[in-house]
Chain A
Amino acid sequence: MNNSSNNLTLDKTPEITHINLDKLELNRYRFYPVTHKLEQPALTFIRPLLVHQQDSGELALLDGFTRYESACAMDIDQLPCQILSPETPLTNIIALLTEQHENVLNIPIHKANFVAMMLNLGLSREQLCEHFLTPIGLSPHIKLIRHCLAIHELPEEVQQFCANKKLSFKQCLALTLYPCDLVMEVLDWRNILHLSSSNILELLEHIHDILRSTNSDIKIFRQSPTILHALQANQPPHEKTRLMRTAVENLRFPDLTAVREDLSRIHDQMALPKTVRCQWDQSLEKSSLYLQIDIHSQQQWQGLLDLLNSTRLTQGIKQLLEKL
């Protein structure tokens, strides 16, 4: 915290008071969900909660959400709280939150929600750019605030996925481009398929493009024969995942798939021995064949020379190069 407005300077150390937990207002300063319970709550409750008293007298919980949740789960009615006065400047409150949640704010989705919360509390976009984005690791650009707000609008379940998988800021932002029902559907597939976060993002991008190019929606897409087959196949999850990725890729790249199939057919007809590998650029951009020969004896070499000179192979190579 280099900027003076970010330094927490309190007139006096807040006194510690025991407060009934049902008196606390929980939403004002909450920007991430509590996802774990404390293992040794008795020790942790020694540290007081931090509470900001509002002009209205309301007590807004500022720090200690996990302790609060744990206490409620253990039927504890009261916890020690330090109460900040209503006069505490908002900039100080934000600086305090930034310091207290350093670890939480390492997760990009939480950064986006934190930015949205700061705007909600009344800070201007210019103030955010000038003082509060850099400390949480974001570039001080207005554009980034817009991106944060878009990410903040993602449904709770999607945000949870972003947090659990610690998706990068760019990945979170990419999710805002897709229709909500598409994202929810693909996230649901986690129960059936074996999907890493990169698999999910790949599927989302491809399916979104398919839906846009065919003016379709996810409900119709889900009923496509190859997609249904992948979801309902009597196979282990990793095999179903392979089927799904292949099905989606074939639908996304019909021209490419058709040429790749032609190339494979020609390659199969060449019936190359295992000692010869013939490969090509799968994107088809480079019009080249890569031939790799693996031999161990003079005899093998002579046999290969005969094969390489054969009409079958010459024709096959010619056809492959024409297709590429």
Chain B
Amino acid sequence: MKPIRSISIHPQQQHSLSAKRLLEKTDLSLTQGELPRIDTYREGKRHLHLDVKKGQSFHRCSAFGKDYVCCNVHVLDQISNCPYDCSYCFLQSYLTNQTTQVVTDVEAQLNEIKQKTAQQPWRFFRVGTWDLGDSLALDPLTGTTSELIEAFSTLPNAVLELRTKSDCVDQLLNLDHHQRTIVSWSLNPADIIEQEEHRTASLTQRLEAMKKVMDAGYLLALHFDPMLVYPGWEKGYDNLIDDIFRFIDPQRISWISIGSLRFNPEMKKTMSRNFPKSQLTAAEMITGPDGKMRYVKPLRTRMYRHLMERMVPLLGDNPPFVYLCMERADMWDKVLGYHPESANHLDYLMTESLDQRFPNLVHQTPTRSDYCAKDTAREPNG
């Protein structure tokens, strides 16, 4: 992993599987100690710290908001910061401590997940490790994902979602996953990957990696998020869709999300400073009522519709569930022709789709009354 130049390990993690693996796989020196504080964005990407679990680490996705239709995905705080360097990454202005961190006492995290998923036995949980970093970019070094995949294969009511821009999948191919792990990719046109998603795998590498995990029996998911506006974006996304579905069988895709670039206004200046050549922030964006900058709605509508028009004919008769991320109900109506009534309703619809398309994946047939009668008071951690 080229960007990582130094590694530290929390004293309680020195005998962990990850620490042992690191000793075998890297010639970098490992020091023992508490989490170092690094304030500089790029410096933080060069130091990896293996940490213990601190506090609650399993909760609903932090993007959840009342004005937007959210999907109720849950996240496991396992990774913080990322060796990649995407120009639009919100982590540039989000993290207080920029040190790249991976929580390696997986057992403690699994105990929390088991306890919380057992509290809602009727719900089928989708659990991601990508909230503050790439799920797989560091996995060849730390190997924590393998432990998670094997543990999730025995959980009754949850699937693990590993979301990545990497091609680091070889370590996953021979694991006993029982289809309880979904490997997903964030995707953008090849020229955008080259210009804006620095150090990530190329589109071809990602597609080849997708093919590998598909052949190893995993389900896939696709995230066209953030979609970006640039000269010729229409053609770029057309080519992207065509390339993907030349490689991938849509019947193996569990869900597809669509979203567009969004960030807080301060982040615009940070991006300009960190990536002066990037023109992404020069597009037509406004600050919405939630305080986030987005492309103006007419433009977002055009983008989403354009993508859907190209993609839907390629999805087949039993298509994957498609949803919008952080958009209001009226945008769903414009693009998808309907909108879920709530986050719980969307959660139900996604689970229903999984249950219908992948028999034996969901532990019990979901009912709308189970999902929608329960208000947020019954959510783990609210």
A283 touches B282 (CB 8 A): no
A324 touches B286 (CB 8 A): no
| Alpha-carbon separation in the docked complex, A208 to B269 (Å) | 12
Interface string of B297-321 (1 = CB under 8 A from A): 1110000000000000000000000
Interface residues of A in 147-199 (CB under 8 A from B): 173-174, 177
A283 touches B288 (CB 8 A): yes
Q: Which residue of A lies closest to B289 (CB)?
A: A285
List 20 A-B pairs, Cβ < 8 Å.
Answer: A143-B40, A212-B282, A213-B282, A253-B284, A253-B286, A253-B296, A254-B284, A255-B284, A256-B284, A256-B286, A258-B298, A259-B297, A259-B298, A283-B286, A283-B288, A283-B296, A285-B288, A286-B289, A286-B328, A287-B328
**Majority SS at the chain A contact face:** helix
Interface string of A192-216 (1 = CB under 8 A from B): 0000000000000000111011000
Residue from the list A212, A281, A324 in contact with B279, Cβ < 8 A: A212
Extra contacts, 10 of them, besides A173-B269, A253-B286, A255-B299 (Cβ < 8 A), are A143-B40, A177-B269, A177-B273, A210-B282, A212-B279, A213-B279, A252-B284, A254-B284, A255-B298, A258-B298
Expressed in whole angstroms, the minimum distance between the Cβ of B262 and any Cβ of chain A is: 11
Query: Does any Cβ of B come within 8 Å of A141's Cβ?
Result: yes
Residue from the list B269, B283, B296, B330 in contact with A174, Cβ < 8 A: B269
Interface residues of B in 255-296 (CB under 8 A from A): 269, 272-273, 279, 281-284, 286-289, 294, 296
Complex interface: chain B residues within 8 A of A287 (CB): 328, 330
Query: Does any Cβ of A come within 8 Å of B39's Cβ?
Result: yes
B282 touches A209 (CB 8 A): yes
Lowest 5 A-B CB distances belong to which pairs? A287-B330, A212-B282, A213-B282, A285-B288, A209-B282
B272 touches A177 (CB 8 A): yes
Query: Does any Cβ of B come within 8 Å of A142's Cβ?
Result: yes
Residue from the list B40, B294, B297, B328 in contact with A142, Cβ < 8 A: B40
A285 touches B328 (CB 8 A): yes
Interface string of A283-295 (1 = CB under 8 A from B): 1111100000000
Interface residues of B in 45-76 (CB under 8 A from A): none
Q: Which residue of A lies closest to B276 (CB)?
A: A177
| Alpha-carbon separation in the docked complex, A209 to B294 (Å) | 14
Q: Which residue of A lies closest to B230 (CB)?
A: A213
| Alpha-carbon separation in the docked complex, A208 to B283 (Å) | 11
Complex interface: chain B residues within 8 A of A256 (CB): 284, 286, 296, 298
Complex interface: chain A residues within 8 A of B269 (CB): 173-174, 177
Number of residues on chain A facing chain B (CB within 8 A): 25
Complex interface: chain A residues within 8 A of B279 (CB): 212-213
| Alpha-carbon separation in the docked complex, A260 to B330 (Å) | 18
Expressed in whole angstroms, the minimum distance between the Cβ of B336 and any Cβ of chain A is: 15
Q: Which residue of A lies closest to B333 (CB)?
A: A287
Interface centre among B273, B282, B299 (most CB of A within 10 A): B282
| Alpha-carbon separation in the docked complex, A258 to B296 (Å) | 11
A residues within 8 Å of B by Cβ? 141-143, 173-174, 177, 208-210, 212-213, 252-256, 258-259, 281, 283-287, 324
Complex interface: chain A residues within 8 A of B289 (CB): 281, 283, 285-286
| Alpha-carbon separation in the docked complex, A174 to B284 (Å) | 19
| Alpha-carbon separation in the docked complex, A212 to B231 (Å) | 12
Q: Which residue of B lies closest to A259 (CB)?
A: B298
B39 touches A141 (CB 8 A): yes
Expressed in whole angstroms, the minimum distance between the Cβ of B328 and any Cβ of chain A is: 7
Interface centre among A142, A255, A281 (most CB of B within 10 A): A255
| Alpha-carbon separation in the docked complex, A287 to B328 (Å) | 9
Complex interface: chain B residues within 8 A of A254 (CB): 284
| Alpha-carbon separation in the docked complex, A8 to B29 (Å) | 45
Expressed in whole angstroms, the minimum distance between the Cβ of A128 and any Cβ of chain B is: 15
Q: Which residue of B lies closest to A286 (CB)?
A: B289
| Alpha-carbon separation in the docked complex, A208 to B268 (Å) | 13
Q: Which residue of B lies closest to A209 (CB)?
A: B282
| Alpha-carbon separation in the docked complex, A287 to B331 (Å) | 9
Q: Which residue of B lies closest to A258 (CB)?
A: B298
Interface centre among B39, B40, B273, B296 (most CB of A within 10 A): B296
Q: Which residue of B lies closest to A177 (CB)?
A: B272
| Alpha-carbon separation in the docked complex, A177 to B287 (Å) | 20
| Alpha-carbon separation in the docked complex, A283 to B289 (Å) | 8
B330 touches A324 (CB 8 A): yes
Complex interface: chain A residues within 8 A of B298 (CB): 255-256, 258-259, 284
| Alpha-carbon separation in the docked complex, A287 to B327 (Å) | 12
| Alpha-carbon separation in the docked complex, A283 to B328 (Å) | 14
Complex interface: chain B residues within 8 A of A253 (CB): 284, 286, 296
Expressed in whole angstroms, the minimum distance between the Cβ of B325 and any Cβ of chain A is: 16
Complex interface: chain B residues within 8 A of A208 (CB): 282
Expressed in whole angstroms, the minimum distance between the Cβ of A297 and any Cβ of chain B is: 36
Expressed in whole angstroms, the minimum distance between the Cβ of B216 and any Cβ of chain A is: 42
| Alpha-carbon separation in the docked complex, A201 to B330 (Å) | 33
Q: Which residue of A lies closest to B41 (CB)?
A: A143
Complex interface: chain A residues within 8 A of B281 (CB): 209
B284 touches A285 (CB 8 A): no
| Alpha-carbon separation in the docked complex, A254 to B284 (Å) | 8
| Alpha-carbon separation in the docked complex, A210 to B330 (Å) | 29
Expressed in whole angstroms, the minimum distance between the Cβ of A176 and any Cβ of chain B is: 9
Complex interface: chain A residues within 8 A of B283 (CB): 213
Complex interface: chain A residues within 8 A of B299 (CB): 255
| Alpha-carbon separation in the docked complex, A286 to B282 (Å) | 23
| Alpha-carbon separation in the docked complex, A244 to B148 (Å) | 58
Expressed in whole angstroms, the minimum distance between the Cβ of A217 and any Cβ of chain B is: 14
Complex interface: chain A residues within 8 A of B287 (CB): 283
Expressed in whole angstroms, the minimum distance between the Cβ of A186 and any Cβ of chain B is: 17
| Alpha-carbon separation in the docked complex, A259 to B287 (Å) | 17
Interface string of B31-43 (1 = CB under 8 A from A): 0000000011000
| Alpha-carbon separation in the docked complex, A285 to B293 (Å) | 11
Complex interface: chain A residues within 8 A of B40 (CB): 142-143
Complex interface: chain A residues within 8 A of B273 (CB): 177
| Alpha-carbon separation in the docked complex, A143 to B38 (Å) | 11
Interface string of B92-112 (1 = CB under 8 A from A): 000000000000000000000
